């Protein structure tokens, strides 16, 4: 620990009762090993007083604080060379009201642990995304969603929050009180403070009967506005551009006894060995010979789903198992939200571009993408999911990427990183994909690898982004929770803030990915000359009416 920081820590009168649990020499990596950073201190608090103390110390020592959970976002949003706070040890359920389903919890609890604890008392989360590794705070702070028209994002189930601000004080907000703070904190991107407590509404535990059907993508397009998304409570699709087929997964609640899907010998062989090892090595080979990717995708699709249309598989499983999927390898993910009715146009234009379709093809649409697809070979599939927040009671998060006047479609263009190496198609594929998404009125998923930046995002969010910035700036005028990712995406062209972290260097990491190094703005490495009370006075603009308990 920096001697100046240690000296400042000694001035705290509660050191015997409120520890500062920290380590140095920590390397933080995303799950996908796309980005790495070396924080000066790695902090793992176990109580609210410890969180408040760390923030007070950071303000005195002129440091930025970044909060991280499982690091599943493949972006650089949580990279820092300053102080990194991990809440894995701040993960308890505080209380449960079985009658109303209200569950109050510490914000570091992972979704899988929350699901396990809820299951013990006959409750469940009403909706899940494709994974359950995230912390509850991380999931709602980036707009995590599932795939269903009968539910909104995970934030839709949140009734109240507590958040510790840059002045070291913890504030309460909910759908009824401090509503503007609640709207900003529901999707905070980690830039307002540290979310410390969440009240979530669970539902009675349920079992899902699901089925999975393989068919031509043309059939998907024909049923799009009819039964495709309305056939069951949960529906998701994987679209394979080279085979021009789709996998439709649908699930409905049931009282049937549980059963796992039947698997042939080939299927078992695929899942236990081929799915990972052979596919991984084939993807590795495609790094040097990209033109084999269409063949690879055809072969792997056939081994997993057979080579002809019409295969149906089914199972009955608990919701917490049925809704999840295996992400398999390190990957880039570029996901956008567009109006649901734009889906067939989006996929047909993307297919026309990637497959060089001619006007004689029944699914041909002029793609209008001003980038050449010659020599461009990509990975499959594109994940297709839906949500609908338009019918839910306000307030909505300021930075909610979903449609407010109808259902939302999410398109996720995944690119694997075999053996942690970047695919050569990434830049041009994502360049064309993002161009198309913007043409169709899309907004990027905050946790993913999008390249669209500041001014275009301002146009997408308008006054909502202006309001979010105003609240954020009042809560954290010195930028204790702001990093270079925030500046590029949501902070605009204003002056750098005193504690804002600026990226100064990127370098290739030995095991793959990029090491990011940053420096905190004005005053980095020096202590504040003001007392804590004077610092509080400076931050009085961040005071809010209703206090936390």
C-alpha closest to that of 211 among 91, 94, 312, 100: 312
Domains, the chain, ordered by start: 3-87+464-546 (3.30.43.10), 93-205 (3.30.465.10), 207-452 (3.40.462.10)
How far apart CA 526 and CA 545 sit, in angstroms, is 33
What is residue 301's predicted lDDT score, i.e. its pLDDT?
87
HSE-CB for 426 with a 13 A CA cutoff: 18
Contact of 507 with 465, CB cutoff 8 Å = no
How far apart CA 171 and CA 184 sit, in angstroms, is 13
pLDDT per residue as tens digits for the range 395-450: 999 999 999 999 999 999 999 999 999 999 999 999 999 999 999 999 999 999 99
Name every residue whose Cβ is closer than 8 Å to that of residue 534 and which is 6 or more positions away in sequence. Answer: none
Name every residue whose Cβ is closer than 8 Å to that of residue 421 and which is 6 or more positions away in sequence. Answer: 284, 287, 512
- Look at phi and psi of residue 147 and say left if phi exceeds 0, alpha if psi is from -120 to 50, else beta: beta
Give residue 416's Cα distance to chain centre: 17
What is residue 305's predicted lDDT score, i.e. its pLDDT?
80
What is residue 31's predicted lDDT score, i.e. its pLDDT?
93
pLDDT per residue as tens digits for the range 230-289: 999 999 999 999 999 999 999 999 999 999 988 655 555 556 666 678 899 999 999 999
| DSSP secondary structure string for all residues of 234-279 | EEEEEEETTTTEEEEEEEEEE-SPPBPPP--HHHHHIIIIIIIIIH
How far apart CA 185 and CA 164 sit, in angstroms, is 11
Residues of the chain below pLDDT 70: 263-275, 522-549
What is residue 96's predicted lDDT score, i.e. its pLDDT?
96
Return the residue matching tokens 């993910």: 333
How far apart CA 120 and CA 489 sit, in angstroms, is 41
What is residue 309's predicted lDDT score, i.e. its pLDDT?
79
Omega of the bond leading into 381 within 30 degrees of 0 (cis): yes
- Look at phi and psi of residue 212 and say left if phi exceeds 0, alpha if psi is from -120 to 50, else beta: beta
Contact of 133 with 72, CB cutoff 8 Å = yes
How far apart CA 487 and CA 146 sit, in angstroms, is 28
- pTM here? 0.92
């Amino acid at each position: 620990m920096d001697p100046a920081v240690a000296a400042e820590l000694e001035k705290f009168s509660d050191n015997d009762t409120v520890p500062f649990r920290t380590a140095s020499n920590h390397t933080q990596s995303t799950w996908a090993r796309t980005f790495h950073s070396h924080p000066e201190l790695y902090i793992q608090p176990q109580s609210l007083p410890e969180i408040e103390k760390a923030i007070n110390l950071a303000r005195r020592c002129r440091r930025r604080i970044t909060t991280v959970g499982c690091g599943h976002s493949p972006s650089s949003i949580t990279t820092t060379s300053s102080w990194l706070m991990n809440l894995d040890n701040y993960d308890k359920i505080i209380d449960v009201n079985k009658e109303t389903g209200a569950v109050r919890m510490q914000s570091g609890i992972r979704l899988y642990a929350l699901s396990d604890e809820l299951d013990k008392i006959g409750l469940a989360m009403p909706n899940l995304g494709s994974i359950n590794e995230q912390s509850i705070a991380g999931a709602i702070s980036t707009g995590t969603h599932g795939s269903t028209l009968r539910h909104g994002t995970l934030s839709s189930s949140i009734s109240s929050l507590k958040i510790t601000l840059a002045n070291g004080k913890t504030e309460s907000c909910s759908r009824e009180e401090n509503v503007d703070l609640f709207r900003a904190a529901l999707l905070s991107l980690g830039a307002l403070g540290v979310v410390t407590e969440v009240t979530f509404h669970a539902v009675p535990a349920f079992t899902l009967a699901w089925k999975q059907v393989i068919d031509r993508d043309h059939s998907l397009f024909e049923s799009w506005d009819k039964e495709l998304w309305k056939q069951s409570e949960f529906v998701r699709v994987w679209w394979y551009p080279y085979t021009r087929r789709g996998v439709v997964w649908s699930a409905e609640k049931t009282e049937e006894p549980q059963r796992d899907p039947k698997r042939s010998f080939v299927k078992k062989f695929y899942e236990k060995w081929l799915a990972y090892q052979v596919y991984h090595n084939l993807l590795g080979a495609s790094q040097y010979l990209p033109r084999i990717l269409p063949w690879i995708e055809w072969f792997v699709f056939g081994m997993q789903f057979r080579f002809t249309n019409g295969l149906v598989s089914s199972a009955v499983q608990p919701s917490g198992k049925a809704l999840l999927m295996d992400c398999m390898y390190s990957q880039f993910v570029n996901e956008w939200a567009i109006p649901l009715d734009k889906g067939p146009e989006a996929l047909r234009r993307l297919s026309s571009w990637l497959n060089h379709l001619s006007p004689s093809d029944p699914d041909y649409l002029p793609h209008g993408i001003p980038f050449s697809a010659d020599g461009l070979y990509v990975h499959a599939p594109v994940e297709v999911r839906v949500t609908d927040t338009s019918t839910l009671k306000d307030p909505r998060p300021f930075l909610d990427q979903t449609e407010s006047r109808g259902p939302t479609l999410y398109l996720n263009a995944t690119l694997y990183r075999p053996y942690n190496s970047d695919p050569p198609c990434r830049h041009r594929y994502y360049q064309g994909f993002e161009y198309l998404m913007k043409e169709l009125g899309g907004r990027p998923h905050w946790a993913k690898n999008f390249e669209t930046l500041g001014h275009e995002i301002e146009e997408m969010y308008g006054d909502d982004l202006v309001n979010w910035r105003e609240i954020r700036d009042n809560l954290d005028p010195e930028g204790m929770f702001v990093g270079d990712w925030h500046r590029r995406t949501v902070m605009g062209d204003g002056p750098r803030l005193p504690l804002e972290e600026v990226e100064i260097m990127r370098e290739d990491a030995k095991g793959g990915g990029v090491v990011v190094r940053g420096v905190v703005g004005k005053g980095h490495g020096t202590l504040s000359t003001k007392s804590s009370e004077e610092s509080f006075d400076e931050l009085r603009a961040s005071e809010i009416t209703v206090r936390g308990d």
